[in-house]
Structure 1
């Protein structure tokens, strides 16, 4: 199997699982352990990632670099890679707007870097068929990235067209999928305030089973992720404005997720707590 060196910046819960898929296809995947948490270090060890001494070593070693980070950090990460003198294929797989992707591409302008636009949909890849990596941009570079994940739990899908298309698809899906959690929480807060929350849940279980409105446990899943989803909503709002569509839904969702930032990575937070945070205007955990 052909040996390939790939860099991943920075492997959190999603990024580590993405990196693990490339390892299964024979790639040597490098990361930067400096300043990262014990949980990140343990994930990297478990998935067979290799430690680079710094960004310059990673840039010099790798032919492909994937950025999988919170959207607010995407432009800064691209700048760090460019400053390190990277020459290869740079994949921005973050939840950013097409406008932000244009900025990221501009960071590498005039250099020896080909930018590929990536959009991940679904949970961290563990089993085939649930998580996709959409790719757009230069055909040769897209094919190179596609080959890294072919046959893994992360299904690569090439989109015809330029950089920006994968991000547009990712955000369009998130605009429905993730804003639905904010809408469900607001409906529950309204019902709770009028003493009919149990009745609303019973009605939703009958009419809308399997949705965040029907199950408080389902709604609770938004709490630990809200710190990432809030900035993603801001990217969606920017993308909406770019095509002349109303941005108010995404902006309101960003404000809602902002109420839940204190629950970052807390698997114990309950749906009832998230509803209370909306009513009280507080994000304090109990």
Structure 2
């Protein structure tokens, strides 16, 4: 199968989850040819990829694309780069590899080191926003090389910073938003267990209406994603550093999300609690 076309940019998308599929759809709508590897992936992933207009390809074929976007769970970002590295070394032309994963700057530098022997131009990337409207922040010396993705349907912001700057932005932003979701969930559950749930939300609504509205929107959307946020919270804790006591806040958030990923009673309680606020 040929994966190059002089008229259209070719993009290899590593990861066909909710975000990856949304990105793939945006790129195909923008005129790019998008390829992914479905080897070992679930039927649901294959269906999402097909609906997004992505085509299945081998690793060697992916390595010939103009751009490679890695959009995988944080825990497998390095492993994904290692799996593709041999194909990149064999490739006669060099793709621009953009790591878009929610990983800390040290981890992203590890990814860059894995790919360095192949001579692949590497870009540190961060996705901020929901799958329907993601924004891409890019950093590192090769970040400008990825700007053509903006002409292919993505919202691109190039940061004036080294490899690690985009990941630092992602860690900081997610630490605030997903950290706040964790705090709101933890304290709402604690209040409900002790008979103060309604009183808590009534007070938040009166004295912190913007916060009450934010929690009402975001906490109910969290349970299906809790399992994916565990590794992200661990990355944020590493980003802060063990020498700072506040890293334990995110270790605790990781533990909370790990529990909520399995504790259906707790997530049902949260969903009911916040659904009642909209009545």
Q: TM-score range by the shorter chain?
A: 0.7 to 0.9
Structure 1 residues without counterparts, runs of 5 or longer: 276-286
Q: Is 1:32 matched with 2:37?
A: yes
Task: Provide the TM-score with structure 2 as the length reference.
Answer: 0.85
**Alignment partner of 1:115 is 2:122:** yes
1:45 aligned partner: 50
Q: In 2, are the aligned partners of 1:135 and 1:166 still within 8 Å (CA)?
A: yes
Is the 8 Å Cα contact of residues 11 and 33 (structure 2) preserved in structure 1?
yes
Taking structure 1 as the reference length, the TM-score comes to 0.84
Q: What is the aligned counterpart of 1:91 among 70, 95, 98? A: 98
How far is 1:98 from its partner? 0.3
The 5 Å alignment of 1:140-219 reads 141-150=142-151, 152=153, 154-211=154-211, 218-219=218-219
1:100 deviation in Å? Answer: 0.3
Distance 1:143 1:157 in 2: 10
Q: 1:118 to 1:192 in 2, by over 3 A?
A: same
Cα root mean square deviation, aligned = 2.4
* Corresponding residue of 1:57: 61
Is 2:2 the counterpart of 1:11?
A: no
- 1:119 match: secondary structure: strand
Distance 1:191 1:9 in 2: 42
Report the Cα offset of residue 271 of structure 1: 4.5
Q: Alignment length, in residue pairs?
A: 262
Kept in 2: contact 1:8–1:15 (CA 8 A): yes
Task: Please tell me whether residue 76 in structure 1 is matched to residue 89 in structure 2.
Answer: no
1:113-153 Cα offsets, whole Å, 9 max, x none, are 01100000110034xxxx31100012xx423322213473x
Instruction: Show CA shifts across 1:46-101 (max 9, x none).
Output: 2211111x212221x31211100100000000101112235321110000000001
The 8 Å contact of residues 191 and 197 in structure 1, kept in 2 or not, is answered as yes
Name the structure where helix makes up a greater proportion of residues.
Answer: 2
Deviations 1:15-36 (A, max 9, x none): 1111222223321110112222
Cα shift at 1:216: 5.3
Task: Provide the rounded CA distance (Å) in 2 between the counterparts of 1:259 and 1:274.
Answer: 18
Unaligned runs of 5+ in 2: 1-5, 274-279
Residue 220 of structure 1 contacts residue 270 of structure 1 at CA under 8 Å; is this kept in 2?
A: no
Q: Is the 8 A contact 1:8 1:31 kept in 2?
A: yes
